[in-house]
Amino acid sequence: MTEETPLLLSAAELTHEEVYKRFSPARKRVIVALVSCSAILPMFASGSFIPAIPQIARDLDSTGPIISFAVSLSICGAALGSMLFATYSGFYGRRPMYLWGLPLLCLGSIGVARSRTIPQLMICRFIQAFGTSGGLSVGGGVIGDIYKLTERGTAMGIFFAASLLGNAVSPIIGGRLIHIAKYSSWRNVQLGLFLVGFCVYLGMLLLLPETSHPGTMGKDKIEPELADGSEGQPRQKFKWVWLNPFSCLWLLRSPNLLLTIAGATVLFTDYALLIPIAYTIGVRYNITNEAIIGACFFPMGLGNIIGAPLAGMLSDRVVIKWRKRRGGVWVPEDRLRGTLFGAATFVPLSVVLCGLITHFVEGPLGLFLNLVCFFFNGLGVDLVLSPSTAYSVDVMHSRSAETMAATMSLRSFILSIAISGILPSINYFGVVVTNTAAGFFAWGGFLLLWLTIRYGDKMRAWVDVGYSTVEST
């Protein structure tokens, strides 16, 4: 499907689509590459931290469950930051959010590397996560700015695939460095994250244009004041406006957007497998080498990388197919049809089987089967998340970044609570019960997606939060 392909378009739609031709295909690819690099950073920050939990616990004279709380705290920081950056991106534009957020990532990374106490570590991880938080919410808004409806799923899939590259490589890099230098190397990984963040910042500064549609930013809709209030004087170039970052949460009164918490149920299976990996697979199969533990993340990351573009491409085809079937009528929920198989099979079954295999299957065979399950979990998670994210942008295109921030924040809030109980649950109930519970949680997400597809049009009629039309999406 190309930008020039007609699809039963009205005159209003053709006029609207002109806005997506502001950037050449090559320039769009550069923009996607930049925002994807920014979206890698939160994954890299968490992925390089998790394998180091046992070493950090020993270094700071603490325990694994306490250090793992930093993961939950960082999720909260990312949720708060995503709401703030998304809200202000609608007023000042997308580009400034990257230029304001990435320096916080750099400062937080230095702080984590220099932490000597648990409170210092927690605070700096919060700042670090806050600085990375615009990568996904604002990045999703950027994708919505430059790609039209029937191309957006594919572009969003590529964006997610690139961003999830951090899941595949960061634990390997982090684990390898930790193995080489034991107790001090987890700090070196954080310093490396600072350098990467600084390089991404320079790329944004030099190459990223403003992608917001002309005249749609809040600052474009208010008359700038004169510098001294008199005629003929130069106008102010910048004026700070206080905005409520929590206002985007009011969008969740829409049941369609609220039910996107299905994403939390599938993501929880990721964390249920990865956070305790040193205490489950590591202990069960006598793996003490941090580099090998980190390498166990790779199959899931590979599944993410394959699943995200595949899911995006399939969701675009589903949108085109069903729109043609209806004679040109667009129904946003059609994009979610491609999520059902992954949500019903790959995601829940992979986490349940991992628990059973870890408990009952010994030796190399057990480890191999676990890694196969990791791959299918990563694949299934993206078969759900990529179309769900594109759906949020489709249905609320004029406030795409805020919609993503609201849904991601709710998802993060749920996850931050659920994640904190993973290690205690495994210690108390065991890996089989914990993973089975995560699987049933994921099947609940499948039910939410089915309800949204089945009754989405009726639910949108219950509460109008400014949904997109086919002419404005």
Write down the mean pLDDT value for the chain: 83
Of the candidates 73, 406, 101, 72, the residue with the CA atom closest to the CA atom of residue 268: 72
Specify if 18 maps to a domain. no
Specify if 127 maps to a domain. yes
Between CA 53 and CA 276 the distance in angstroms is: 9
- Sorted by sequence, the CB contacts under 8 Å of residue 98 that are 6+ apart come out as 35, 38, 134, 138, 201, 204, 208
**In this model, does residue 174 exceed pLDDT 80?**
no
The full length of the chain comes to 473
How many CA within 13 A on the CB side of residue 349? 12
Over residues 336-372, the pLDDT tens digits come to 998 999 999 999 999 999 999 999 999 999 999 999 9
Q: Are 401 and 323 in contact (CB under 8 A)?
A: no
Mean pLDDT score, 35-52: 78
Specify if 261 maps to a domain. yes
Beta-carbon neighbour count of residue 188 at 10 Å? 15
Between CA 181 and CA 97 the distance in angstroms is: 36
Alpha helices in 114-251 (DSSP H): 118-132, 134-146, 149-163, 165-181, 185-207
Beta-carbon neighbour count of residue 117 at 10 Å? 11
Over residues 257-273, the pLDDT tens digits come to 888 788 889 989 988 99
Specify if 472 maps to a domain. no
**In this model, does residue 91 exceed pLDDT 80?**
yes
Specify if 234 maps to a domain. no
Strands (E), 377-456: none
Q: pLDDT at position 68, please?
A: 76
Specify if 1 maps to a domain. no
Backbone angles phi, psi at 465, to 5 degrees: -105, 20
Over residues 177-213, the pLDDT tens digits come to 555 545 456 788 888 889 989 999 999 999 999 999 8
Q: pLDDT at position 375, please?
A: 95
Over residues 370-397, the pLDDT tens digits come to 999 999 999 999 899 889 988 988 888 8
Q: Lowest-confidence range among 158-167, 214-223, 410-419?
A: 158-167
Over residues 304-320, the pLDDT tens digits come to 888 888 888 898 899 99
Between CA 276 and CA 80 the distance in angstroms is: 25
| Backbone angle region of 286, left / alpha / beta, with phi > 0 → left and psi within -120 to 50 → alpha | left
Q: Are 186 and 56 in contact (CB under 8 A)?
A: yes
Q: pLDDT at position 101, please?
A: 92
Q: Binning pLDDT at 50, 70 and 90, where does residue 12 land?
A: low
Identify the bridge partners of residue 235 per DSSP, sorted by sequence position.
226
The two counts, helices (H) then strands (E), for the chain are 21, 0
Q: pLDDT at position 173, please?
A: 61
Number of domains in the chain: 1
Q: Coil, strand, or helix at residue 235?
A: strand
Place of tokens 């079937």: 325
Q: pLDDT at position 179, please?
A: 52
Backbone angles phi, psi at 93, to 5 degrees: 110, 170
Q: Are 394 and 149 in contact (CB under 8 A)?
A: yes
Q: Lowest-confidence range among 149-158, 231-240, 259-268, 302-311?
A: 231-240
Specify if 344 maps to a domain. yes
Between CA 83 and CA 408 the distance in angstroms is: 9
* Domain harbouring 113, CATH code: 1.20.1250.20
Q: Are 386 and 312 in contact (CB under 8 A)?
A: yes
Q: Are 12 and 138 in contact (CB under 8 A)?
A: no
In this predicted model, which residue has the larger pLDDT, 472 or 261?
A: 261
**In this model, does residue 28 exceed pLDDT 60?**
yes
Q: pLDDT at position 243, please?
A: 86
pTM check: above 0.85: no
**In this model, does residue 321 exceed pLDDT 60?**
yes
Q: pLDDT at position 275, please?
A: 82
- Virtual CA dihedral for 130, 86, 34, 393, nearest 10 degrees? 130
* 418: containing domain: 23-213+251-462
Mean pLDDT score, 22-34: 90
In this predicted model, which residue has the larger pLDDT, 445 or 77?
A: 445
Q: Which two tokens stand for residue 376?
A: 């299918």
Beta-carbon neighbour count of residue 306 at 10 Å? 16
Q: Binning pLDDT at 50, 70 and 90, where does residue 229 land?
A: very low
Specify if 221 maps to a domain. no
